[in-house]
Amino acid sequence: MATLELDDIQGVVARGYGQLSAACYLMLQIDDPPAARTWLQVLAERVTPGSERPEEVATHVAFTVDGLRALGLAEDDLATFSREFWEGMATPNRAAFLGDVDASAPEHWRWGGPAHPVDLTVLLFARDEPRLQTEVAAIKGEWTGVSEVVRLDTYLFDSPLEHFGFADGIAQPIIEGLSRTGPPENTLPPGEFILGYPNAYDKLPPRPLAYASEGSTALPRTKNEAGVQGQDLGRNGTYLVFRELEQDVRGFWTFVSAASEALYGTDDHDTRVRVAAKMVGRWPSGAPITLSPESDTLDNPTRDNFGYRDGDMNGHGCPLGAHIRRTNPRDALEGTREESITVSNRHRILRRGRPYGAPVSRALDIDEILEATADHKACGLHFIGINADIARQFEFIQHTWIINPKFDGLYSDPDPLMGNLDGRHGTFTLQAHPVRKRITGMKRFVEVRGGAYFFLPGLRALRFLSTLTGDA
Ligand code: HEM
């Protein structure tokens, strides 16, 4: 088994920092490359390696392709990054592929789109809000050559929740070689999430090289998968997918209430929660409905150790199109159980996102949400996904599973939380015996407000990038 160089890997890959409950993300642009490089040398000293377990504060930094170019990385070297990364999330083809159309189109984005490009992000996590503010002030006090495009704050619920009112951040793949262990079917080789290590195909994932750029700090030399010799820029780095996803909480519960009435002749509290849970695939507490189909109670303490094959292959518990079943079908795909898990596991991501914006109802009370005024301030999820192969992992989940109405033999069922792009034809099917039920007129309850693909370098690579000698 490969030994992970945790002192060179940024810590956010290894852990989600649950105990560092305050967080914010600074989206920056580079105005003066030599000054920015000098500042990055200082910032590099603050960046938290995976070998530490910070109790106070953690700092991370990641770059878009524009940012690497601005720092002076040669075009030939940029071309060694994956195509999705150097093309970027906001190109017209990719936006269409990801479903970022209409109100979610990049031209409307607050950041990351053509009007507000971003070069780098600094991700900050701290024990509490005052400590976070001190850290932000310290970093801003040090920076030179960069300016803020936008600062993205997060909202702290008492427990990890998202704004529709469901527990979040439960299901995560385990990286082989880290201290946390779990069932083998949920344990993945490090190369799925970190460049420079074997992946699920027992191959090294394609990784960038610096052969045309020079820095005053050298990196170990290597040959990449294409046989090109150069400095090992990718090792211990990875790709970070960031999307600002605004949630229409009132619209969601209004829709769920109408659907409850239409399906069951009542929109009382329990019926609404049941319908919404079917859409998510878990109850608000996080209990998987496949294990607990009738009510939000579960004795099983491990909320993530389950499959669909034994007893729920037909979707009578968790509908086939529910959000969690389509973002990780586990053992429910075609073929044997093992084949299904192998295929599902080729499309996993580490989720590190956090909610933002005050909740529509602090108590997450559905009636209060329904009565909320339409001008409630925006709230949603700062979605952060970490993966070694953006196309095979994040983009596959988003394109082939989330927005695809034909997922798993369905006909017109996109992801019930996010997917319906045309606002007219989407349905959500609740498989049942003797007759299934069907909710029609599905809407889009999540809009994209910003986003970018970032390269999260290893610490040595960060020092190399901050001492590049080429002209930007
Ligand atoms: C605002 C948007 C979103 C909301 C409200 C949301 C909500 C949730 C909730 C409540 C869960 C169940 C809790 C858990 O298993 O941790 C979940 C799981 C998950 N979501 Fe999302 N999600 C959103 C966007 C996305 C996106 C954009 C992706 C990927 C492209 C995604 C991928 C996943 C995955 C992989 C799981 C775990 C499934 C499993 O392994 O069982 N989600 N999400």
Q: DSSP letters of 145-190?
A: SEEEEEEEE----SSSB-TTS-B-S---PEETTSS----GGGEE-G
Sign of CA dihedral 329, 330, 333, 339: positive
Of residues 115 and 421, more confidently modeled? 115
Output the CA 245–ligand 1 centroid distance in Å: 12
Which of 100, 241, 246, 351 to mutate for ligand 1's pocket (most ligand atoms within 8 Å of CB)? 351
- What's the mean pLDDT when you consider all of the chain? 94
- Which residue has its alpha carbon closest to ligand 1 atom 38? 324
Q: Which of 110-119, 194-203, 204-213 is predicted least confidently?
A: 204-213
Which atom of ligand 1 lies closest to the CA of 402? 30
CA pair distance 277, 281, nearest whole angstrom: 6
Helix-strand-coil split of the chain, %, nearest 5: 30, 20, 50
The strand pairing partners of 62, in sequence order, are 121
Residue 383 Cβ contacting ligand 1 at under 6 Å: yes
Task: Answer yes or no: are the C-beta atoms of 135 and 141 closer than 8 Å.
Answer: no
Output the CA 351–ligand 1 centroid distance in Å: 8
Strands (E), 109-220: 120-126, 146-153, 174-175, 187-188
Q: What ranges do the domains of the chain cover?
A: 11-243+452-466, 248-346+360-379+407-450
CA pair distance 439, 429, nearest whole angstrom: 6
- Which residue has its alpha carbon closest to ligand 1 atom 35? 327
My answer on whether omega of the bond before 434 falls inside 30° of 0, hence cis, is yes
Residue 361 Cβ contacting ligand 1 at under 6 Å: no
Assign 300 a pLDDT band (cuts: 50, 70, 90): low
pLDDT in tens, 261-282: 999 999 999 999 999 999 999 9
Output the CA 256–ligand 1 centroid distance in Å: 18
- Which residue has its alpha carbon closest to ligand 1 atom 18? 324
Q: What confidence score (pLDDT) does residue 228 get? A: 83
Place of tokens 């200082």: 42
Which of 154, 155, 162 to mutate for ligand 1's pocket (most ligand atoms within 8 Å of CB)? 162
Angle at 453 between CA 9 and CA 201, to 5 degrees: 60
Output the CA 45–ligand 1 centroid distance in Å: 33
Which atom of ligand 1 lies closest to the CA of 398? 30
Task: From 436, 398, 450, 66, select the one nearest 263 (Cα to Cα).
Answer: 436
Give φ, ψ of 308 to 5 degrees.
Answer: -105, -20
Residues 6+ apart with CB under 8 A from 385: 240, 241, 349, 350, 351, 352, 353, 393, 394
Which atom of ligand 1 lies closest to the CA of 166? 10
Which of 325, 327, 330 to mutate for ligand 1's pocket (most ligand atoms within 8 Å of CB)? 327
CA pair distance 154, 419, nearest whole angstrom: 24
Q: Does 39 have pLDDT greater than 80?
A: yes
State percent of the chain over pLDDT 70. Answer: 98
Q: Does 140 have pLDDT greater than 90?
A: yes
pLDDT in tens, 42-58: 999 999 999 999 999 99
Q: How far is CA 200 from the centre of its chain?
A: 20
